[in-house]
Amino acid sequence: MELNWQTVYKSSGYEVYRATNESGNFTKIATLTDNGKSCYKDKNLKNRKKYYYKVRAFKELNGQVCFGDFSDVLTICTEK
């Protein structure tokens, strides 16, 4: 499953979170530091299952990390 989002101007990277239930117990599954990349491929998903994703950008500045707001939650249903 490939997730895509709009790039955030001058971000240092993105964090991708996933949950397996609607109540939203999200776990960080990736930190992407290639600031030109605005996609992530999630592999080894189970068949016929719902997954919930959210993404946030971050910026490293003067040794500190500042996080943007989380995206809306995206629900994906896998096939077969």
pTM of the model: 0.90
Distance separating alpha carbons of residues 63 and 52, to the nearest angstrom = 31
- The DSSP 8-state label assigned to residue 10 in this structure reads T
| Contact status, residue 1 vs residue 36, Cβ threshold 8 Å | no
| Contact status, residue 51 vs residue 18, Cβ threshold 8 Å | yes
Per 3-state DSSP, the chain is made up of helix, strand and coil in percentages (nearest 5) of 0, 50, 50
CATH number of this structure's domain 2-77, picked from the four choices 3.40.30, 2.30.29, 2.60.120, 2.60.40? 2.60.40
Q: Is 36 helix (H, G, I), strand (E, B) or coil?
A: coil
pLDDT one digit per residue (tens) for the chain, 80 residues: 899 999 999 899 999 999 998 887 999 999 999 767 899 999 989 999 999 999 999 999 999 999 999 999 999 999 87
The pLDDT tens digits for 4-25 are 999 999 899 999 999 998 887 9
Domain ranges in the chain are: 2-77
Determine the residue type at 39.
C
Average pLDDT across the chain, whole number: 92
